[in-house]
Structure 1
Amino acid sequence: MLFFDIISLFQNYESFKDSSVGSTKIFRYSDLLKVMNKYKDICTIVPIGLSIEKRKIFKIKWGIGKIKILIWSQMHGNETTGTKSMFDIFYFFLRKKNCDLVKFFKKNLTILFIPMLNPDGSEIFQRRNAVNIDLNRDAICLQSPEIQILFQEIKENKPNILFNLHDQRSIYNVGYKSFNPAILSFLSPSVSMEKDIYSISRKKSMGIINFMVKELHKILPDIGSIGRFSDELYPTATGDRLQKLGYPCVLIESGNYPKDFQKKIIRKYTALSILAGIYFISYKGYKGEYLEKNYKSYFSIPENKNILLDKIYRKIQIHKNKNKFLVDIGLMNFEKFDLMKRNITIFTKIVDIGDLSNFFTYEEFIVTGNKFYGEKGKNFPEIGDLENFKIF
């Protein structure tokens, strides 16, 4: 069995990261066209359909193996980390084409990658498509041409394993005892409302995820860990629907790390998690009971907790009608895409007020007894206010 050395890959990641893929969160259709061109000698790149606004949707094919893995990204147009991570993997295949690991992958796998399922949303850094349909909730009606293309490719190619790549908001913590943001989260989508119903397809994806998480724990930083996303059933969601149809589906949520606003660190962990997953599939195959053998260990991965805020001011004194209160003020960062300037601006809003002792935060300010001074003389905060206040 060929040894998979995730520690060495982690240490040498910069040598195979595709530096032509920018560090900003934005990854537009024009960026895709430029980046794809460098892989035309090692991959087959073909258009497979058109979006609502008539942008081409592409499929990239690499490898000659019997095991077929279909991967797609940017079904939410503003979730770009998975796309960038996959191009790092292709750059690894290009740069290291003579190394044993890449030869092993090429011999055993055929990777089919749809790098931007929602090019219209990607063009304007928008989650939904051009008519504001969430592609990840259109798996039954199949109204959107983009989701029709995905399902048609799956029907024609009959892949053995699916990887569904997303980005995750900064609100998720691993566990509830300390600040521990989810660097990555994984999900084997549900197939039934019954919690103890596990299809063969779900057991396979659970087994794959279990291996990926074990490998990732070898390279985790001091802060941050790996979480398991809620397995609540969403019948119209893509992963839930495909897993129910018998396709093992691994969903990867690229999470967050302190001060990694452009997700450079998260991109690295996402790429290495995918490499770990395809290695496991390569040597275990997809038949028999190999993939699903240890599926129950999936539930030992701690579930995400929605207990993180971007910023908290603790024990601020506020006033109303001659009454005094000591409250915590919790804030979250929000992104706004400027279509003209083609950049993202960050603004911070108040999202909670009161006792936030059960929340952890990326930035914390202990200001016990200091007074709140809002705009225009206002001396108490309101949900939705921008961070335009002072405390002293």
Structure 2
Amino acid sequence: MFDIQLLEKKYSTFRQEGFDEKWLNYDGLLRYFSTKNTEKEQIGTSFLGNPIYKLSFGTGEKRILIWSQMHGNESSGTRAMFDVINFFEQNSEITQNILSQLTIDFIPMLNPDGANVNTRRNAIGIDINRDFLAKESTEIHILLKQVEKGNYSTLFNLHDQRTIFNVGTTEEPATLSFLAPSYNLEEDVNDVREKTMGIIQAINTDLQKVIPGKVGRYTSEFYPMSTGDNFTKMGYPCVLFEAGHYPNDYQRNETRKYNALAIISGLFSVATQNEFTFDKYLSIPQNGQRFLDVILHNVQIQNGEKSSHVDLGIYFEDIYNNKSNKVEQIAKIIEIGDLRKFVGHLELDANNQIYKAENSFYPTLNQIATFEVGSIKLINGQIIN
């Protein structure tokens, strides 16, 4: 019996320590390898020559490929992989079920060049996830070659999503979201998508026991250049994982935990089931886009005797600083006006405080935010404690 609530309680026993920051670059991956005895296989090199590795576990006939950091700035799946690998080492009944039925290949960092500078794209600016048809990125060839020779029954494609997403019409953040990608414009459902939907339904059933109301579903609009849609078209059930926001968790460690539990849930389902029911897949609420990181209410904008009262919507963006070789979280204004349709992860009342932008009283979109409300100080885009 798979008990996700018990697994959550035991999470600290298999959590990989030392990887608490959201930014995970290639040196971080090598640091992880230095702590493990896990055998790794180099399956190619990135555009800039960084080796890309595969880790393998299990002896089962069903084969699964799981890859992460196809987008270099999306590390929650990679760090969750580390936890899952530690879980395998505990030799529990769940682990035995999984590893006896499955052979699992992990590619923890498909885009090391992008990871090094915390960007979605690869070293020459290609979004690998939109390069399936043109095949101009070095890294898409590595992924395709692995899929073609791996004889996989299922694929797990791990991504991160922005903090803007909510679940359905609720004010719950989409901590995890899933998608069974379409294979045509009509969004038809064939046996491949049925299996994908069934795996997601099984994962969602488990997750509702630990993060109720915080699981969303992406629209199944067909993207003709994306990997998930094309793998589905080729006959591979491809589960898209999107790791999102958990309250007060900007380094995504709580999200990472539930991502690890979701991966284990999905693996257990594939290992122990040959038939999947998908009748409740469409009942998973579709993602909305209602969240902003900060909403600053009742800001006064003045010009002489004229004034307006507005709300400012602020979004945190992670920017790589090549001088310090660090990633800095910068707050930018992305919405101005009446923001009642939005929800803030943090909402503050400015009480008619005049917002003074640099060299102007007027806030502008994409302007780096500076304000002080109560104990909250946000100076030049950074929160000051």
Structure 1 CA distance for aligned equivalents of residues 280 and 364 of structure 2 = 44
Residue among 341, 349, 356 paired with 1:374: 356
Structure 2 CA distance for aligned equivalents of residues 302 and 210 of structure 1 = 12
SS at match of 1:296: coil
Shift of 1:60: 0.7
Q: How does 1:1-392 map to 2 (within 5 A)?
A: 3-20=1-18, 22-40=19-37, 43-94=38-89, 96-97=90-91, 99-177=92-170, 179-195=171-187, 197-220=188-211, 225-285=214-274, 290-291=275-276, 294-320=277-303, 322-368=305-351, 370-375=352-357, 378-389=360-371
Structure 1 CA distance for aligned equivalents of residues 182 and 3 of structure 2 = 31
SS at match of 1:182: coil
SS at match of 1:64: coil
- Asked if the contact 1:39–1:90 (Cα under 8 Å) also holds between the matched residues in 2, the reply is no
- Asked if the contact 1:372–1:390 (Cα under 8 Å) also holds between the matched residues in 2, the reply is no
AA aligned to 1:299 is L
User: Structure 1 residues 11, 146: closer, same or farther in 2, change over 3 A?
Assistant: same
Shift of 1:336: 1.3
Structure 2 CA distance for aligned equivalents of residues 382 and 338 of structure 1 = 23
Structure 2 CA distance for aligned equivalents of residues 164 and 282 of structure 1 = 18
Structure 2 CA distance for aligned equivalents of residues 55 and 336 of structure 1 = 22
Shift of 1:338: 2.1
Shift of 1:347: 1.5
AA aligned to 2:186 is E
Shift of 1:316: 2.3
AA aligned to 2:306 is N
Shift of 1:114: 0.7
Structure 2 CA distance for aligned equivalents of residues 183 and 358 of structure 1 = 20
AA aligned to 2:360 is K
Structure 1 CA distance for aligned equivalents of residues 255 and 235 of structure 2 = 30
AA aligned to 1:275 is I
Shift of 1:54: 1.1
* Unmatched runs of 5 consecutive residues or more in structure 2: 375-385
AA aligned to 1:109 is L
User: Structure 1 residues 116, 391: closer, same or farther in 2, change over 3 A?
Assistant: closer
AA aligned to 1:256 is H
- Asked if the contact 1:373–1:391 (Cα under 8 Å) also holds between the matched residues in 2, the reply is no
- Asked if the contact 1:332–1:350 (Cα under 8 Å) also holds between the matched residues in 2, the reply is yes
SS at match of 1:166: strand
SS at match of 2:280: helix
- Asked if the contact 1:64–1:109 (Cα under 8 Å) also holds between the matched residues in 2, the reply is yes
Shift of 1:57: 0.8
Per-residue CA deviation, residues 69-120 of structure 1 (Å, 9 max, x unaligned), is: 10000011111110110111111112x12x2221111110100111110111
RMSD, aligned α-carbons: 1.7
Structure 2 CA distance for aligned equivalents of residues 347 and 33 of structure 1 = 28
Is 313-322 or 75-84 further displaced after alignment?
313-322
AA aligned to 1:71 is I
Structure 1 CA distance for aligned equivalents of residues 220 and 305 of structure 2 = 48
The alignment covers a number of residue pairs equal to: 374
* Unmatched runs of 5 consecutive residues or more in structure 1: none
Shift of 1:335: 1.2
AA aligned to 2:220 is D
SS at match of 1:327: strand
Structure 2 CA distance for aligned equivalents of residues 55 and 243 of structure 1 = 29
Shift of 1:38: 4.5
Structure 2 CA distance for aligned equivalents of residues 321 and 152 of structure 1 = 65
SS at match of 1:387: coil
Percentage identity across aligned positions? 39
